[in-house]
Structure 1
Amino acid sequence: MDLIPTRDQVVSAASNLAQQLVHGSIADLRPMPRTLLEEGDQRQLYHYRPSASAPRRGDPVLLVSPLAAPAICFDLRRGCSLVEHLVEQGRPTYLVEYGDVDVRDRDLGLAHWVDEVVPRAVEAASTHAGGRPVHVVGWSLGGILALLTAADRPGLPIASVTAAGSPTDISQVPLVAPVRPMRGLDEGDGLIGRTYRAVGGVPVPLVRWAFQLSTFQKLVSRPLAIAANLDDTEFLAQLEAVDRFTDDMTAYPGRTFGQVYHRFVTGNALVGGAMQLGSREISLSAITAPVLVLAGATDTIAPVAAVREVLQHLSGSLEPRFEIVPGGHLGMLTGRAARTSTWAVLDEWIDEWSDVVPPKKAVRKRAAATKAPASKQAATARKTPAKKAAPRRKAATQESIGSNPTRRYGSGDSRALGR
């Protein structure tokens, strides 16, 4: 609002206040309709109801939630919901989430998500979508789980991997700088280790406080921001939706938190591109699928430098790509600016790596173009970049997402690698 509000601003502010008083909410927080396909130990796979007005488009998309954060990060509110956007685009959309965590889950470690949860969700989504390969999209720690799964299980039906706001070099995260010197003082037997084992995990209030601390400046200035934007319905609706997101934080399983804390926060396990999980080492260089890495321009939890470091370890990926988009940690995924930035990048990426030709026609076309047996065509089509790369590169223009490092979002660091 202006220092001296206009008549229209006063009317809009009064309308927003009345909406809150009468209905208790400005934001449309209705979840997108979905169906539970299968569930297991800390695993629920959902399929979102297709749009009746949008024809099916491309291969299925699987959204991978981070631990502790609610899965509504992908379905924040109507108008700012990545799920809503994907469904309205006609994309078969799936979500894996983990349910509530209590003391009974204290022994679950990272291996549970990399060995069981994410791989089974990929396989089930692919089967439900008619055997099509799946675009795996993970946010925050969900992105790291997606990367580790793709590296550990290259045989999964994965069309591409997108890691959004997923830091792999924790030394580049200022928020954890005070914690890192504690390495060696608390290797599982110190106060922190004893505490999370005793209570079975990290309780919800502490998880919520940690997220709020990352946006402390916004938290302090919140009253002034609300007063200055009383006439902005979209601003108030977004604030309300983010509040609900924060209130819905869940607990961390004890063993998983211990591994995240010791390996990532204090140990910076992935800075070298590999980490030990159980009796094996998982190397990110083993990922063969195309990988899109997204970083939020103002993200304090996963700063650009911390996210970008993963690129040097994706030597096996068919095509790694890096993009900087507007917003902080949550805003980059589902903020108001995401509609014309992050989602546009994701749309083009998925279209580029989806086979939109019906499977039977695609096999006949490839069989005619190459003289190899048809049975080998379907198995190797996605592994052979030459047939797809040429038309993509030829079509890239100044208006193409990822093709021009100076065009978009005011960041010269956004770029497509290998072009």
Structure 2
Amino acid sequence: MDLIPKPEQVVSAAGNVAHKLLYGGIADLRPMPRTLIDEGTLRQVHHYHPDPEVESASGDPVLLVTPLAAPAICFDLRRGCSLVEHLVGEGRATYLVEYGAVSFRERRLGMEHWVDDVLPAAIRAVSAHAGGRPVHVVGWSLGGIFALLTAADDPGLPIASLSVLGSPTDVSLVPLVAPLRPLLDLTGGHGLVTRAYRAIGGAPQPVVRWAFQLSSFQKLVTKPLAVAMNLDDTEFLAQIEAVDRFTAHMVAYPGRSFGQLYHRFLKANMLQGGSMELGERTIDLSAISVPVLVFAGANDAIAPVRAVEAVLPHLTGSPDARLEVVPGGHLGMLTGRGARDSTWVVLDEWLTEWSDRAPRRRARRRTPRGGTGIGTNPERRHGSGGSRALAH
């Protein structure tokens, strides 16, 4: 809104305020319709109903992998900014795995539960439901880490490709974490954090919500002013509403899983070396034998570009490992207002290229080791141009 609002801006702002007062909100938060096809302990696999206006399904099925603690609405934020809505509209058979609410009784579940049980079972269920086709696995944040570890641990899973978004493998390069890591080692693993999560069985929902908000502290502080300055922008206000709902629905971390993340990722930074001890074995990312597309958000404070691209040198077993830098922060890169013209465009091309029914449009190539590897297509009109500019 201009400093001196134009008449049409005043009318639009008044309409937005009235709509919020009368109806409680502006955003269209209707979830995309879906059906439960498989379930287990902290595992619910849903199939989204096909779009009746699309004649037939396109390519292999897509499985969206939710991170721990985040609600599954990250993939279905609101109409118009929903990756699920986009994929279904493109005619893709779309599935999602979510975990439900975590209670104290799940405190003993470690990351093994997701890598050994939840994701493999979900992938097999989706493949079976889709007639035996291989599955494109798309994971956001920790969901992407789980997807990488699962694919590396079991190369026999019916996976067509992996796409990971905002998944840092070198946490020493995360600005929010780097200053704290020397302090974490002072107590030898027996400090206040360790005693706290063991006592309460994990990281409770209010703490998880606070941590997510802290990652965008500047936006949190300036939010009232931003809302006031954009009262005439319906899309802006709708996105604010949708993100607020997402943040309010954060869930808890199970105790043992939180402990593994805290000690192995945050303190030891294990994945920096390309492998991780889990259970009684070591999972090496070089064992991944499927194509991998890695997304990094240009403005992501939780998973900055350098922390995300650090995985590329370890994907030596993949026939095609690429990096794409896209606009947006941690959530915005996935389902922000600009994602439809950047992230989703790149993902569409990738899914089409690596689907069995689609012709191979160009020869396989590996991201050059030591280079930025930015951009999946030099001729792209969206996404990659901005990525190369960032690299320069």
TM-score range, shorter chain: over 0.9
The one-character-per-residue Cα deviations of 1:317-351 (angstroms, maximum 9, x if unpaired) are 01001100000000000000000100000000000
Asked if structure 2 preserves the Cα contact closer than 8 Å seen for 1:169 and 1:268, the reply is yes
CA shift, 1:120, in A, is 0.5
Q: How does 1:59-74 map to 2 (within 5 A)?
A: 59-74=60-75
| Cα distance in 1 between the residues matched to 2:363 and 2:178 | 45
Letter in 2 for 1:402: T
Say which SS state the counterpart of residue 194 (structure 1) adopts: helix
Q: Does 1:288 align with 2:255?
A: no
In 2, the alpha carbon distance for the partners of 1:258 and 1:413 equals: 39
Partner residue of 1:410 out of 364, 386, 389: 386
The CA distance in 2 between the partners of 1:65 and 1:187, in whole Å, is: 32
* More moved, 346-355 vs 190-199: 190-199
Note the alpha carbon deviations across 1:79-105, whole angstroms, 9 max, x for none: 000000001111010100011011101
User: In the alignment, what sits opposite 2:25?
Assistant: 25
Letter in 2 for 1:404: P
2:10 equivalent to 1:10 = yes
Contact 2:63/2:137 (8 A) holds in 1: yes
Question: Are the counterparts in 1 of residues 324 and 387 from structure 2 also a CA contact under 8 Å?
Answer: no
The answer to whether structure 1 residue 306 and structure 2 residue 307 are counterparts is yes
Residues 180-219 of structure 1 mapped to structure 2, 5 A cutoff:
180-219=181-220
Fraction of identical pairs, as percent: 67
SS of the counterpart of 2:387? Answer: coil
Residues 187 and 193 in structure 1, CA contact (< 8 A), matched pair in contact too = no
Q: Which segment drifts farther, 190-199 or 108-117?
A: 190-199
Q: Structure 1 residues 405 and 197 mapped into 2: Cα distance closer, same or farther (>3 Å)?
A: farther
Tell whether 2:256 aligns with 1:255: yes
Verify the 8 A CA contact 2:326 2:386 in the aligned structure 1. no
**How far is the alpha carbon of 1:413 from its aligned partner?**
6.8
- On the 8 A contact 1:45/1:96 being kept in 2, the answer is yes
**Deviation (angstroms), 1:187:** 4.6
**Distance 1:390-1:178 versus aligned 2 partners, 3 A rule:** closer
- In the TM superposition, residue 161 of structure 1 has moved relative to its aligned partner by 0.3
**What's 1:87 paired with?**
88
Residue in structure 1 matched with residue 274 of structure 2 by the alignment: 273
Paired letter, 2:272 = V
For the structure 1 residues 186 and 112, does the alpha-carbon distance in structure 2 shift closer, same or farther, using more than 3 Å as the test? farther
The whole-number CA distance in structure 2 between the counterparts of 1:340 and 1:175 is 29
Q: How many pairs align? A: 379
Q: 1:26 to 1:389 in 2, by over 3 A?
A: closer
Give 1:185 shift: 3.3
Q: Deviations over 1:353-381 (max 9, x none)?
A: 00226xxxxxxxxxxxxxxxxxxxxxxxx
**Map of 1:45 onto structure 2:** 45
- Match of 1:75, SS state, is coil
| Secondary structure in 2 matching 1:178 | helix
Task: State the Cα distance separating 1:167 from its structure 2 match.
Answer: 0.2
- Determine the C-alpha separation between the residues in 2 that align with 1:187 and 1:94: 42
Name the amino acid aligned to 1:412. Answer: R
| Shift in CA distance, 409/240, structure 1 to aligned 2, threshold 3 Å | farther
Task: Kindly provide the amino acid, as one letter, of the partner of residue 33 in structure 1.
Answer: P
CA distance in 1, matches of 2:343, 2:188: 38
Q: TM-score, normalised by structure 1?
A: 0.88
Counterparts of 1:245 and 1:12, CA distance in 2? 26
For structure 1, the residue ranges without an aligned partner over 5 or more in a row are: 358-386, 394-400
Is the radius of gyration larger for structure 1 or structure 2?
Answer: 1
Task: Provide the rounded CA distance (Å) in 2 between the counterparts of 1:186 and 1:60.
Answer: 47
State the distance in 2 between where 1:193 and 1:413 align.
42
Q: Aligned partners of 2:103, 2:320: CA distance in 1, in Å? A: 40
Contact 2:319 2:364 in 1 (8 A): no
Counterpart for residue 369 of structure 2: none
CA contact (8 A) 1:179 1:265 kept: no
- Superposed displacement of residue 34, structure 1: 0.6
How far residue 411 of structure 1 moved from its aligned partner, in angstroms, is: 2.5
1:319 matched to 2:317: no
Q: CA deviation at 1:191?
A: 1.9
Distance in 2, matches of 1:301 and 1:33, equals 31
Deviation at 1:179, TM superposition (A): 2.5
Is the contact made by 1:405 and 1:412 (CA closer than 8 Å) also made in structure 2? no
Give 1:178 deviation, angstroms. Answer: 3.2
> RMSD value over aligned CA atoms?
1.7
TM superposition shift of 1:224: 1.0
AA partner of residue 155 (structure 1): G
Residues 323 and 413 of structure 1 are in contact (CA less than 8 Å); yes or no, is this contact kept in structure 2? no
Deviations 1:13-65 (A, max 9, x none): 00000100000010000000011111111111111011111121000000000
SS of aligned partner of 1:411: helix
2:131 & 2:327 partners in 1: Cα distance?
Answer: 35
In structure 1, what residue type is equivalent to 2:340? R
Contact 1:102 1:201 in 2 (8 A): no
